[in-house]
Amino acid sequence: MINVTKTFLACIGNFGNQIGIGSNIMTGSFINSDILLKKRTLINLNCTIGHDSVLMEFTKISSGTKVSGNCFIGGYSALATNSTVLPKINIGKNIIIRAGAVITKDITDNCLIIGMPEKIVEELQPLEF
């Protein structure tokens, strides 16, 4: 009997990517080319990050999330499981996007977002450091 174990690694594009210190890309994720991940960014299991996208510091992308090409996600933001960001969208800092939300337009700073399409349900307190 042959025991075969498959290991699925993350796929990372072969040019133009910059991955900041302390960032993690989990298995099954696809990172296209010309991506900028600032420090301490987490790309969880089975995510897709499209070409020419920027994820600022301390951003968390939960399992199954899809970020299309040419997107910007501000620092200290969290995108929950299976959320989707359509192409060329700018998302501000300190944003929480709930599970399954679909982002179709730009989002300003300090918001809680739900739904398909997106709906701002709460203004968050600005982060102070």
Mean per-residue pLDDT for 112-121? 92
Task: For residues 81 and 108, give the distance between their C-alpha atoms in angstroms, rounded to a whole number.
Answer: 21
Q: For residue 63, what are the domain limits?
A: 16-123
Mean per-residue pLDDT for 71-90? 97
Report yes or no on 64 lying in a domain: yes
pLDDT range class, residue 6, cuts 50, 70, 90 = low
In order of 43, 59, 103, 113, 115, the CA distances from 25 in angstroms are 5, 12, 22, 24, 26
**CATH code of 61's domain:** 2.160.10.10
Mean per-residue pLDDT for 64-93? 97
- In the block, residue with structure tokens 């700018």: 90
Say how many domains are in the chain: 1
In order of 2, 29, 127, the CA distances from 65 in angstroms are 35, 10, 24
Average pLDDT score over the chain:
92
Of 42-56, 70-84, 114-128, least confident by mean pLDDT is: 114-128
Q: Is the pLDDT of residue 23 over 70?
A: yes
